Chain A
Amino acid sequence: MMHHIVLRVVAKLLIPCILVFALYVQFHGEYGPGGGFQAGVIFASAFILYGLIFGLEALRRVAPPEAIRILIALGVLLFAGVGFATLLLGGNFLDYNVLAGDPVAGQHLGILLIEVGVGTTVAAAMITIFVYFAGRGQR
């Protein structure tokens, strides 16, 4: 699809909007609908659009598979790490109350962190799945 000028221009205009919307869904999930899972999927869809329009090689340059592979694990690690941090701070596993001075602030911090973890893993996993599926089709 390298020669479709309309598609390329529209994609270039859309991708930043999709990324910003994904971040909005990610960090506004506490106040409106959304959260890490949806944000991760939307974030990944921006990359998938980029891959569809500009080709898989360009996508590999923007999102190197090695880095994405680390990000998949990092999200789960962040989530579980929050759990173990609460254990070390004297609470139960994933009991965010102990993360900050008062329980509500702790809950806010904990939810923010685990949503980031969820979003990271989901986005990275979706990009990986797409890259590997599309990469096989090329050969």
Chain B
Amino acid sequence: MIAFAIIRLRGLLVVVMLSGIFSLHSAVILLSLDAVDVAFTEAAVGAGISTVLMLATLSLTGSKEREKPPHTVLPILVVVATGAALIYGTLDMPRFGDPEAPVHQHVAPRYIEESPREVGIPNMVTSVLASYRGYDTLGEVTVIFTAGIGVMLLLLGRKPKHNGEEGEEDSS
């Protein structure tokens, strides 16, 4: 329902607020699925930081959506086809919570049985993220790093140079 409101509304400020609420709802859903770490991330990043960043973006771009062109048949077709393909894909997936599912048979038992001995910390999510999957986490941190550098470069590039302090930042 929130998603429909987001699609239908024109005032972008309301849309940003609603997407924050949507993130918070997702966090609650994840929490009820016992994925506490993911829920935490969703609440902090999705509902917190990204809402603030979108509001900051709105203050740059203005908060009214432009009127759409009237013919929207092709986009609807593409969306419906993609959705149908995705739903068709889920038909092959194992039932929710199925203990025979491949995801529970592959490396998960090893993590659950061995990580208290090998890594020795109670939060298994952290031991998987930081130790077993250290490469992936390094990649993620590099992505964040790149995002920061990218925003810095993009928004520095067009700065006017009359202000003394900004000129100093430009030179570095």
Contacts and interface: CB of A to CB of B under 8 A. Distances in A.
A129 to B, nearest CB: 5
Contacts of B14: none
B145 to A, nearest CB: 5
Nearest to B153: A132
Nearest to A35: B126
Interface residues of A, number: 54
Q: Is the interface of A mostly helix, strand, loop or mixed?
A: helix
B3 interface: no
B45 A41 contact: yes
A48 B120 contact: no
Interface in A115-129: 115, 117-118, 121-122, 124-126, 128-129
Contacts of A50: none
B56 A133 contact: yes
A139 interface: yes
A107 B138 contact: no
Contacts, number: 143
B134 interface: yes
Contacts of A94: 131, 134-135, 138
B81 interface: no
Nearest to B54: A133
A103 B131 CA distance: 12
A101 interface: no
Given A94-B134, A125-B148, A107 B119 contact: yes
Given A41-B41, A76-B138, A103-B118, 9 more contacts: A30-B121, A30-B122, A30-B123, A48-B49, A76-B141, A80-B138, A94-B131, A128-B151, A137-B56
18 contacts: A29-B126, A31-B122, A33-B125, A35-B37, A35-B126, A35-B130, A41-B45, A76-B138, A79-B138, A83-B134, A94-B138, A104-B118, A110-B131, A122-B144, A129-B53, A130-B53, A132-B151, A133-B53
7 tightest A-B CB contacts, nearest first: A125-B148, A94-B134, A104-B120, A133-B56, A33-B36, A30-B121, A132-B155
